[in-house]
Amino acid sequence: MFNLRKTVAAMAVLGGMAAAMPACADDGIVRHVEGKFPISTAIEVPAGASTVYLSGMGAPVQDKKADPRSLAAYGDTQTQTYAALQRIQDELKKLGLGMGDVVQMHVYMVEDPKLGKLDFDGMMKAYTQFYGPAAKQPNLPVRSAFGVAHLANPGWLIEIETTAVRAPGK
pLDDT of residue 10: 38
% of the chain residues with pLDDT over 90 = 71
Calculated CA dihedral for residues 141, 144, 145, 147, nearest 10 degrees: -160
Most confident range (mean pLDDT) of 7-11, 37-41, 44-48, 120-124 is 120-124
Average pLDDT over residues 142-148: 97
Note whether residue 55 is domain-resident. Answer: yes
Contacts of 51 (CB under 8 A, 6+ apart): 45, 163, 164, 165, 166
In a domain, 51, yes or no: yes
Q: How far apart are the C-alpha atoms of 80 and 157, rounded to whole Å?
A: 7
pLDDT value at residue 22: 54
Considering the entire predicted model, what is its pTM?
0.82
Residue bearing the bigger pLDDT, 162 or 136: 162
Residue 17 included in any domain: no
The closest alpha carbon to 95, from 5, 21, 4, 163, belongs to: 163
What was the pLDDT predicted at 23?
A: 54
Q: Look at residue 6 and tell me if it is in a domain.
A: no
How many structural domains does the chain have? 1
pLDDT, tens only, 57-105: 999 999 999 998 899 999 999 999 999 999 999 999 999 999 999 999 9
| 11 within some domain | no
State CA 1 to chain mean position distance: 51
Strands 158-166 and 142-147: unpaired
- Tell me, what CATH number does 94's domain have? 3.30.1330.40
Check residue 150 and give its pLDDT: 95
**In a domain? residue 103:** yes
Task: Tell me how far apart the alpha carbons of residues 145 and 161 are, in angstroms, rounded to a whole number.
Answer: 10
152 band by pLDDT with thresholds 50, 70 and 90: very high
Is residue 12, in this structure, part of any structural domain at all? no
Q: In which domain, by residue range, is 144 found?
A: 23-166
Of 121, 126, 38, 142, the residue nearest 80 (C-alpha): 126
pLDDT exceeds 50 at position 17: no
Residue 86 lies in a domain: yes
Residue 31 pLDDT: 92
- pLDDT score at 24: 52
Which neighbouring-strand residues pair with 146? 108
Angle between helices 77-94 and 120-127 (to 10 degrees): 40
